[in-house]
Amino acid sequence: MKTYIIIGGSLGIGLSLLNVLLKHNKVINISRSAPNLTHDNLIHYSIDVLKDDLPEIEKCDGLVYCPGSINLKPVSRLKLDEFRDDYEINVIGAVRAIQKYLPQLKTGTNPAIVLFSTVAVKLGMPFHASVAAAKAGVEGLTKSLGAELAPTIRVNAIAPTVTDTQLASKLLRNDKMIENITERHPLKKFLKPEEVADMAAFLLSDKSASLSGQIFEMDCGIVSFKI
């Protein structure tokens, strides 16, 4: 049985991943709120990853950093503090967690780190300046750490398109918006959190032992195709 740390496993993709991993692994969840489930294999710490001291953990075979932001505004209305906040949430929080648990990861069994980007890094989209800039930092971190930590620790990132989570609720708040977003994607769908969680679980597993430094675009075709 492996031990995985999830930062932000109480909601959305993180919660879906928690449910997948708990079937056969021990999971340590670190988030401000507790997930709405209990399990013999689950340990939860109510912590703000940006402000509080992270808990001491003896063993770790994988780390997933889930927190993100969707702050969509014209650049003229974005305050510099909003750029800073998005960078803190998406990049600094991930670095803080990685630095804290790197010693444990180095002694883990086939250890892996999974981070999260967005399709907005590759696909220029209006009003995404702050989040796209922050997630571009995540992609740079993924590739740099993948090289630095090879061959001991694999590092990959997932770049999803719109996913049906609380974070994206403003983009999916009525039938017309759902229809528009569906039609924009060549596969005529957007993502469910369970789909992204399955990809994250794969990247943590030994089945992806040859993959590191990669950005996996789960885009429903919106970046890959022009149709």
Per-residue pLDDT of the chain (227 residues; tens, 9 = 90+): 999 999 999 999 999 999 999 999 999 999 999 999 999 999 999 999 999 999 999 999 999 999 988 888 999 999 999 999 999 999 999 999 999 999 999 999 999 999 999 999 999 989 999 999 999 999 999 999 999 999 999 999 999 999 988 877 777 889 888 999 899 999 999 999 999 999 999 999 999 999 999 999 999 999 989 87
3 state DSSP class of 225: coil
Q: What's the Cα-to-Cα distance from 157 to each of 66, 72, 174, 179, rounded to whole Å?
A: 10, 22, 30, 28
CATH entry, 3-162+192-218, from 3.40.50.720, 3.40.50.2300, 3.30.420.40, 3.20.20.20: 3.40.50.720
Model-level pTM?
0.94
Which residues in 68-186 belong to E strands, given as ranges? Answer: 112-116, 154-160
pLDDT, position 167 = 78
Closest CA to 63 of 35, 100, 13, 34: 100
- H, E, C per residue of 23-92: CCCEEEEEECCCCCCCCCCEEEEECCCCCCCCCCCCCCCEEEECCCCCCCCCHHHCCHHHHHHHHHHHHH
pLDDT at residue 97, as a whole number: 98
User: What pLDDT is recorded for position 145?
Assistant: 98
Contact 188, 221 (CB under 8 A): no
Which DSSP symbol is given to 10?
A: S
